[in-house]
Amino acid sequence: PVCSEKGAVVVNIAHIPDAMTAVMAKQGAKPDFDSVGDLSLKCWFSNSQGINLPDYLNPPVVEAMSPYGEQIAGLGEQVGTVFPRQAMKDASGASMMDPKTQVTKIHGTSVLDASTHSFEENLVQSLIREYPDENGTALANVALNTFVNQSGKVGLAAADASREAGNSPNTALSAAVAMVGPKQVEQAHTVTTALVELFKKSGLEDAADVGFDFSAQLEAADARLFLTDYSGRCNVAMLAAIEARGAKSVFIDFLKALEQKGGGKLSCSVLVAAITTHLAWKALMRKRLSVTTVSNLPWHFRVFSTLIGSAASAENQERHTFCGVANKEFMSSWSFTETAHLALLGNRPNEEALYAFSVLLGLIITNGPGTISAQGAKGAVSADGPEVPERIQVNKGYIG
C-alpha cells in the first residue's frame, strides 16, 4: 500500500490489514502476535456438481477453525439434501414453463428434449433429476418389468371391475394404484435405507464400479434385513436378466455376496431396492436428492409397473406370461417402453413405432405447475402432512 507514518491509501478494504502493518512498521511498532496464515480465499465447503473445473475456479477445501470445523464435520455425516418448506400453490419443485417459448421443462429439461429419450429414461429422470446412463437404463428396465405382470393381484381385479362399470381409464388405473400401499414396499424401503446407511461414508462414487471393495460393509450388514427364508423364482430370473443385459452394480454384487455368505435368499423387492439405490447414488452424493426420496424410489417403481400392468385386462395375463410374452423375456430383453406399447396397443413395436411412441410419452411427461393434475398430487401430499415425510403415501399422490 501507499503509506507513511501518518497513514495509508488503499483501494480495497481487504488491503487494510497490510496497510496498518506497514504504517505501524514505519513507526517502529511490531505486531503483538506472530502472523498466522494469510488472507487468501479459503473454502470450507465445495460442490462442483461433478463438473471438471479448472483450478482457478475450484479452490481447495481447508479445515475450518474451531468450533466451525467440528460443526462441519457433523454435517459431513449427513447425506442427501433437505429441501426447504415453502408454499407450493401454482409452483413446482420439478416442472416449470418457459415464459418465452411456453414449453414446459422438467428438472431443467424441455419436454421437446425429453421426447428424444425412452419412456424408462424419462421415468428415472423425473425421480432423480438426471438421466441414467446405458448401464442404469438396463437396470431400470429389469426393475420396471419385474412387477408388470399383475395376474392374481387384487389391483388388477379392481381395475377390471372399474372398467366394467364404465369408468374412464385414469379412474380404472387409480383403483389398481390404490392397492399399492406402503406395506407392499415395506421391505424395499427398509433395504434402501440400510444400503444408504452402510455405504454413505464408504467413499463409493460410482455405483457401477464393480471393483469397489465392500468387505467392510459386508461384515457390518445385518443379513436379516436383506435375506428371507422364501426361495422363489423371481429373484433368480432378475439376477439372470441383469447378467443377460450386461449390467453392473456394486449393490447387486454386495447382495449376491451376502446371500453366498449364508442365512437366507434374496427377494425381488430387495433387488429392486438395490437397483433404485444404484440409480440414485450419484445424485444423492451430490445432494440433489433427499434420503426420503431415495427410500421411496422402489414405491414409485412399483406404481409405474402397476400402471402399465393394469392397463391390460386380466384375460391377457397369466402367472408366467403377460400378453402372451414370458415374464423372464420382459426382464432380460424388453425395454419398459416396449412393454407399455404391448399393454396399450397389443403388440411389440418395430423401430419406427417405438420412436413415435417414445416421442409421444416424452411430450406428455409433464404439463407444468399449477395444472389440475399437479394440484391433485400436491393435495394428496398435503392431506398426509408433509411436515412428517414418512407419513406421505406415494400411491395417493399418483391417484390425486
Give 92-127 pLDDT, tens digit per residue.
778 888 888 888 888 888 999 999 999 999 999 999
The mean pLDDT of 71-83, rounded to a whole number, is 82
Count how many domains the chain has. Answer: 2
Tell whether 153 and 294 lie within a shared domain.
yes
Residue 300 resides in a domain: yes
pLDDT tens-digit map of 247-291: 999 999 999 999 988 778 899 999 999 999 999 999 999 888 999
Tell whether 299 and 178 lie within a shared domain.
yes
Angle (nearest 5°) at CA 330 between 328 and 331: 65
pTM, rounded to two decimals: 0.82
What the block records as the C-alpha cell of 309 is 400392468
Measured distance CA(318)–CA(309) in Å, rounded: 12
Tell whether 239 and 325 lie within a shared domain.
yes
Decide: residue 270, CB within 10 A, 0-12 exposed, 13-18 middle, 19+ buried.
buried
Residue 73 resides in a domain: no
Residue 375 resides in a domain: no
What the block records as the C-alpha cell of 64 is 475450518
Residue 67 resides in a domain: no
DSSP 68-133: HHHHHHHHHT--S--PPP---TT--SSEEE-TTT--EEETTEEHHHHTTS-HHHHHHHHHHSS---
Tell whether 109 and 243 lie within a shared domain.
yes
| pLDDT over 90, % of the chain | 56
Tell whether 132 and 33 lie within a shared domain.
no
Residue 54 resides in a domain: no
pLDDT tens-digit map of 133-164: 999 999 999 999 999 999 989 999 999 999 99
Q: What does the pLDDT read at residue 340? A: 95
Tell whether 250 and 115 lie within a shared domain.
yes
> Domain residues for 100?
95-369
Phi-psi region of 76 (alpha: psi -120 to 50; beta: other; left: phi over 0): alpha
Residue 49 resides in a domain: no
Tell whether 23 and 100 lie within a shared domain.
no
Q: Does residue 313 sit in helix, strand or coil?
A: coil
Q: Does residue 24 sit in helix, strand or coil?
A: helix
* Total residues belonging to the chain: 400
Measured distance CA(279)–CA(252) in Å, rounded: 12
Tell whether 123 and 221 lie within a shared domain.
yes
Tell whether 24 and 139 lie within a shared domain.
no
The mean pLDDT of 371-381, rounded to a whole number, is 70
Q: pLDDT band at 82, cuts 50/70/90?
A: confident
Tell whether 24 and 172 lie within a shared domain.
no
Tell whether 16 and 134 lie within a shared domain.
no
Tell whether 15 and 137 lie within a shared domain.
no
CA atoms within 13 A on the CB side of 127: 27
Residue 75 resides in a domain: no
